[in-house]
Structures are given as C-alpha cells and as structure tokens.
C-alpha cells in the first residue's frame, strides 16, 4: 500500500497576474511563463489526479482567470469528478464569469481580501481600486450562486483589522474565512519581510481568532500557523453556531503542518514542478518527468519531511511535535532548513519566561 | 455494534459508500472514496473510537478487514 494521497492539491495554473502583490509566493507578473503546462498537459494532470483519488483541487496562480483555457480545465477536472475550487484575487470576476464557472462545475472560489479598507488592501496588492473590485467579484459570485470564501493575509498592517476583516467576510456572505499567517517567500522576501508577525504578535492574533470562532457563524481556518489548533484545544473553543467537531475537520487540527504529509497537501507549479507547499518551495519532482503519485511516493525531500523525529531545535524537543510540528515553510524560508525549528512559534519564548520565573522563585527560596 | 458495522456506518454516511459493498474482504483500493472522504472517515473513526490512527500503519493495510483489526488493536 502507498502513502495516503493528499486530501488537497493546488495547481498554480499560470504565473500571469493582473496585480502585483507584495507577498506573492509565485513571483507572478503580467506575462505567462513560457514553460507553463499546456492545456493538454493540464488535462493529463487532471486524469492523474482523478485516478489517484484526489478529493479537492484548488486552481490558483498567478491569477487563474488570466489564463484563457481556465474554464476548459475546470470543466475537464469536474468531468473527472475532482471537486474543483479556485483561488482568485476576485478583480476579474463578473456575474457572467461566475455563472460560466458554476456551469463548468466549479464548487467555490476563494477571494483574497487583504485588509478591512481599500488603502490597506490596495497598497498590499499593488493596484488602486483592487479592494472594491474584489468585493464586486464576491458580489458577482453571490448573485450567481457560486459559494465563496475570503482569504486574508495576517501581517503587522492588518493586526488591528482582524475583527473588521471577519465582519466584512460575514457581511458579504462568505462561507469561510481563511487567515493566512504571512510567511515571506519569493517576492515577499524583498517587499514585505518587515510585515511578518513576531511570535508574540502571532500568539495575540491567534488568540483573537480562536476567541472569535466561538461567536462566528462561519469556519475560520489559519494556514501557515499549525500552532493555532493547539490554542483551539487549550482554550476548549466551543463554536455556538456549529458542532465543535467541525473544527477537527481543519486538516492540520491534530497532525500539524500538512505540507506533503499523508492526507495533507501538495502544490504543483505552473511549469509542473511539485512542492510540498506554496510556502515550502522545495522541488519534489516535475510531473513532466514523473507521475504525481510517483513523486509523492518516492521524493527524498518528502521522506525527511514526513519523519517528525528529524525535526530540529525547539520543534524537535517540543511535546507537540506530532500534532503541530511548526510551519515547515517558515522554518525553511527563515533558516534555509525545512527541518529547523519554526522561528515564528511563541512556545519557546513562553517556556523560557516560565523557566526564568521558576529560577527566580527557587532563588527566593534558596 | 461491531467494529465493521460501525465503520460501515461511518463510510456510508461520510463518503456515501454503498454499505453492501463494504465487507471484511473488501480491498481498500476498491472503496469508492476520494482522499477528502478518507480524511473525513479517519477523523470520524478517531473521534468515535477515541484513537489516533498511525498513517504509517495504514500503508500496510490492504483490506477493510485490516483496518477493522487495527481499530480493534487500538481500542484494546
């Protein structure tokens, strides 16, 4: 028997984008890359994913709507019984396009909203008016009956806006809110590294979101922060609007970082390169040379990542290493070692503080 | 309820599998469930039986019967 396939695969169908976001993990520009998978190659990928038994496919980019054959690919994926969703900046979604995507079999759209106001969002996304266009895109989805969620990046500039961002998601009719903990990778390293939260800020943000979940009628997910579910458990968060067991459906709820883990997640770039995660761009292989299932099974990089006993530093010593493991992408981007301790985790700081306080107490007694 | 009946009920509910097609000798690869369904089945099994499933051990399983025996071994 093989390793369990990921529950979700994302495919960045193009590097072309109409925005120029500061944090872009795919370094997207206004031109498609010359080596992107062709339509036929994308179809073959859909065949392989279907045969592999993949349950959830996210097509993103770049901006996927910049690719002319997007609807063809969505339609083909859906015909192969792949539950297909889209990650989009929302600016190009009109009601007519939303209807076409729905007809093609698309199940939902994740629209990026990176601030509670136009100035915060537009300055981060590199286009004046992008905030309103994203909200208009959401409205178009709503009118067409296409479910959507909001994806939002948590960074220093949005720390004070979390409540308002959640409120906007609710007011606009989003069915989930996904708060991405900013990891500076690719363009983000040059343009917004100073926006990455400190461990203390991260904990405050996560506590706020965990507390918000109690009253929030939609599910809040927090990719790139596998410590978040620890807080949900520690605080025994009981959502009022849905069963608490729904929280356990957050895939990394009990097993930590999902990057390339069995029943976790894997990402395919526009040129067919396979990475454990959009934030952990270590080459596992390329689907032009090897099937995705074979890459999943045989990549040496993955074998290391899946062995939590190999985790180093504080993550290696942590009692939560099997249920959290830290964000492997952040560890890689900040240290160059994907097995290093997650430098964004607040637990070592707290342990050090508690240790110092204990020492102080013992000192008093002594 | 026996473990196989409980598992069959979960798989029928979560993955909308045909319960008549799930028996001890059914090969896991023949179960009509995709990877998202399997994740939901695992989460539900862990919750209902109060166990934690080892994915490495799952690699060694080929049939529903193997899965049932594994659950029973975890619950003692």
From residue A342, give the alpha-carbon distance in Å to each of A34, A205, A209, A258: 35, 17, 20, 14
Q: Which residue of A has its CA nearest to B42?
A: A263
Count of CB pairs separated by less than 8 Å, A with B: 56
CA distance A106 to B16: 21
Report the complex ipTM: 0.92
Nearest to B35 among A5, A248, A249 (CB): A5
Task: Residue B39: list chain A partners with CB under 8 A.
Answer: 7, 55, 251, 263
Give residues 79 to 98 of A whose Cβ lies within 8 Å of B.
81, 83
pLDDT at A353: 76
Burial class of residue A49 in the structure, from the number of CB atoms within 10 Å of its CB (0-12 exposed, 13-18 middle, 19+ buried): buried
B3-75, CATH topology level: 1.10.1200
Q: Are A188 and A332 in contact (CB under 8 A)?
A: no
Cβ neighbours of A190 (radius 10 Å): 10
Q: Which residue of B has its CA nearest to A306?
A: B56
Q: At what angle do helices B3-15 and B35-49 cross, to 10 degrees?
A: 140
Q: Degrees (nearest 5) of the Cα angle A328, A45, A298?
A: 50
Q: Are A255 and A322 in contact (CB under 8 A)?
A: yes
Q: Map out the domains of chain B as residue ranges.
A: 3-75
The helix/strand/coil state of A341 is: coil
Which H or E run contains A205? helix A199-215
The helix/strand/coil state of A230 is: helix
The helix/strand/coil state of A9 is: strand
Average pLDDT, rounded, for chain B: 93
From the candidates B16, B27, B36, B59, which should be mutated to test the interface with A, based on the most A CB atoms within 10 A? B36
DSSP letter assigned to residue A150: E
Omega of the bond prior to A196 within 30 degrees of 0, cis? no
State the smallest CA–CA distance between residue A255 and chain B in angstroms: 10
State the smallest CA–CA distance between residue B2 and chain A in angstroms: 23
Of the candidates A187, A244, A195, the residue with the CA atom closest to the CA atom of residue A219: A244
pLDDT in tens, chain A (366 residues): 577 899 999 999 999 999 999 999 999 999 999 999 999 999 999 999 999 999 999 999 999 999 999 999 999 999 999 999 999 999 999 999 999 999 999 999 999 999 999 999 999 999 999 999 999 999 999 999 999 999 999 999 999 999 999 999 999 999 999 999 999 999 999 999 999 999 999 999 999 999 999 999 999 999 999 999 999 999 999 999 988 878 876 767 788 999 999 999 999 999 999 999 999 999 999 999 999 999 999 999 889 999 999 999 999 999 999 999 999 999 999 999 999 999 999 999 888 777 777 777 766 654
CA distance A76 to A230: 39
Residues 6+ apart with CB under 8 A from B33: A53, B11, B15, B17, B41
Task: Residue B59: list chain A partners with CB under 8 A.
Answer: 1-4
**Tokens of residue A77, six digits:** 């994926």
pLDDT in tens, B9-29: 999 999 889 999 999 999 999
pTM of the model: 0.94
Cβ neighbours of A89 (radius 10 Å): 29
**Tokens of residue A267, six digits:** 């990402």
What is the DSSP pairing of strand A273-275 with strand A265-268? Answer: antiparallel
Task: Residue B67: list chain A partners with CB under 8 A.
Answer: none
% of residues, chain B, pLDDT over 90: 76
pLDDT at B7: 97
| Choice between A357 and B74, residue whose per-residue pLDDT is larger | B74
State the smallest CA–CA distance between residue A196 and chain B in angstroms: 31
Helix then strand then coil, % of chain A, to nearest 5: 45, 15, 40
pLDDT at A1: 57
């Amino acid at each position: 028997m093989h390793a369990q396939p990921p529950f979700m695969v994302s495919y960045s169908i193009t590097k072309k984008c109409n925005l120029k976001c500061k944090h872009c993990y795919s370094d997207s520009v206004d031109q498609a890359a010359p080596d992107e998978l062709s339509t036929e190659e994308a179809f073959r990928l859909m065949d392989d994913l279907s045969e592999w038994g993949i349950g959830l496919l996210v097509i993103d980019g770049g901006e996927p709507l910049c690719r002319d054959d997007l609807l063809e690919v969505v339609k083909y994926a859906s015909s192969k019984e792949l539950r297909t969703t889209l990650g989009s900046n929302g600016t190009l979604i009109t009601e007519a396009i939303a209807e076409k995507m729905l007809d093609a079999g698309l199940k939902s759209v994740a629209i990026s909203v990176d601030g509670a106001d136009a100035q915060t969002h537009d300055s981060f996304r590199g286009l004046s008016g992008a905030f309103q266009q994203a909200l208009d895109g959401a409205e178009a989805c709503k009118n067409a009956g296409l479910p959507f969620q909001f994806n939002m990046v948590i960074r220093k500039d949005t720390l004070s806006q979390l409540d308002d961002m959640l409120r906007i998601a609710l007011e606009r009719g989003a069915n989930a809110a996904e708060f991405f903990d900013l990891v500076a990778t690719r363009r983000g390293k040059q343009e917004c590294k100073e926006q990455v939260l400190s461990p203390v800020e991260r904990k405050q943000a996560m506590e706020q979101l965990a507390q918000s979940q109690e009253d929030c009628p939609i599910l809040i997910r927090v990719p790139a922060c596998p410590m978040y579910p620890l807080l949900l458990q520690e605080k025994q968060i009981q959502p009022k609007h849905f069963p608490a067991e729904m929280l356990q459906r957050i895939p990394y709820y009990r097993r930590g970082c999902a990057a390339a883990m069995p029943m976790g997640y894997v990402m395919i770039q526009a040129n067919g390169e396979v990475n454990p995660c959009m934030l952990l761009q270590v080459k596992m292989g390329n689907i032009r040379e090897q099937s995705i299932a074979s890459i999943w099974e045989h990549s040496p990089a993955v074998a290391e990542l899946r062995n939590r006993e190999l985790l180093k530093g504080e993550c290696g010593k942590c009692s939560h290493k099997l249920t959290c493991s830290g964000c492997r992408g952040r560890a890689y981007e900040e240290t160059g070692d994907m097995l290093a301790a997650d430098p964004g985790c607040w637990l070592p700081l707290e342990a050090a503080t508690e240790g110092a306080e204990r020492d102080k107490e013992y000192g008093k007694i002594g | 309820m026996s473990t196989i009946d409980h598992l069959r009920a979960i798989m029928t509910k979560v993955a909308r599998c045909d319960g008549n097609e799930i028996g001890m000798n059914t090969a896991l690869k023949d179960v009509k469930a995709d990877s998202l369904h399997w994740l939901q089945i695992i989460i539900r099994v862990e919750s209902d039986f109060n166990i934690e499933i080892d994915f490495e051990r799952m690699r060694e399983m080929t049939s529903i019967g193997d899965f049932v025996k594994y659950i029973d071994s975890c619950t003692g």
